[in-house]
Amino acid sequence: MPRYALMIEYDGTPFSGWQRQAEGRASVQAAVETALERLEPGLHRIAAAGRTDAGVHATGQVATCDLARDWEPTRLMGALNHHLRPSPVAVLAVVPVAETFHARFSAIERRYTFRLVQRRAPLTHERNRVWLVGHRLDIAAMREAAAFLIGPHDFTTFRSSICQAASPVKTLDEIRIEEMPCPGGVECRFHLRARSFLHNQVRSIVGTLERVGAGSWAPEAMKAALEACDRAACGPVCPPGGLYLTGVGYPADPFAA
C-alpha cells in the first residue's frame, strides 16, 4: 500500500487534542481520518509525530497514512482539504514516503513554540492563541533560568502526573526566548527543541519561567526545582492555547523536495 506523509496545521481550540477519543469527542486525528474515509471508504488510522493536548495548536505536525491507490500528491492534498472543511485543519503538503517511514518513530526532533503576550488590555483576535499576562517580564532572568535545563536531565519536576513515558530523562537541546512588540504590549516567544518531550513538559517549563520573569522566583530556583525531581517543586502549568507544535525533524526531510 502506498504510504504518504502529511504536513498539517490546525487550531486546537475546538478539539480534545490530536488523538482520537473513545467517547467520540472531536479530535484532529478523527477529522483527518474522516476526510480520508471520504476519499477511500474503509477504516483509516494515521500516526502523528506528536500527540498534542486539548487546545494546543500546530503549524508543522507530521502524520503518515497508508492508502489503497497511488495518489498524485497535490491532488490528494486538495481533496483532503476539501473534505476537512469547515474544521480548522489544513494539509500543507503531501509526499509519498517509503513503507519504513513513520511519522512518530522516524522522528529525531520535535520543535515547539509557546507564545505569551504581556499587556494590560484583554485579548480579542489572539484569544486562545497566546497566554495573556498583565505584567512585564524580565527576559534576561528567564534566559538565565532556562540555561539550567539544557542537556540531559531527569525532568520529573516538569512532568505531568499522568505522563506515560517510560523514563523522565530527556535531553533538551535548546530553549530560546525572544521578545517582539505587539499591539498594546510585548510578545514573548519560547522556542524549545528536543528529540521528544514528556507530557506537559513544555507548559510546565514555560509556566515556571514566567514566575522567574515576574520576579517571584530567582533564576537559581529553576536549578533547584529541576534537581528536586518532584512535581510539587514545579511552578504553575500555563494554559494550552499558547503552545504550538512548529516542526518535526527526520534524518532526511521528506518535504525538502
pLDDT tens-digit series, residues 102-143 = 999 999 999 999 999 999 999 999 999 999 999 999 999 999
Global pTM? 0.96
Domain boundary residue, one of 77, 105, 133: 105
Q: Is residue 135 part of a domain?
A: yes
* Domain, as residue range, for 210: 109-247
Catalytically active residues, by annotation:
53
Average pLDDT on 83-88 reads: 97
Secondary structure of the chain: what % helix, strand, coil (to 5)?
25, 30, 45
Residue 87 binned pLDDT confidence (cut-offs 50, 70, 90): very high
100 and 113 belong to one structural domain: no
126 and 222 belong to one structural domain: yes
Beta bridge partners of 7: 62, 93
Q: Is residue 181 part of a domain?
A: yes
The pLDDT > 90 percentage for the chain reads: 95
CATH of the domain at 62: 3.30.70.580
71 and 113 belong to one structural domain: no
pLDDT at position 13 is 97
Residue 198 binned pLDDT confidence (cut-offs 50, 70, 90): very high
CA 173 to CA 195: how far, in whole Å?
Answer: 8
pLDDT at position 100 is 97
Q: Is residue 23 part of a domain?
A: yes
pLDDT at position 42 is 87
Q: C-alpha 190: how far from its chain's center?
A: 12
Q: Which of 196, 192, 147 is closest to 167 using CA atoms? A: 196
How many domains in the chain? 2
Q: How distant, in Å, are the alpha carbons of 112, 148, 202, 210, 228 from that of 160?
A: 17, 20, 10, 18, 15
Q: Which helix (H) or strand (E) holds 136?
A: none
Q: Is residue 255 part of a domain?
A: no
**For residue 23, pLDDT beyond 80:** no
Q: Which of 43, 54, 15, 42 is closest to 31 using CA atoms? A: 15
85 and 122 belong to one structural domain: no
Q: Is residue 222 part of a domain?
A: yes
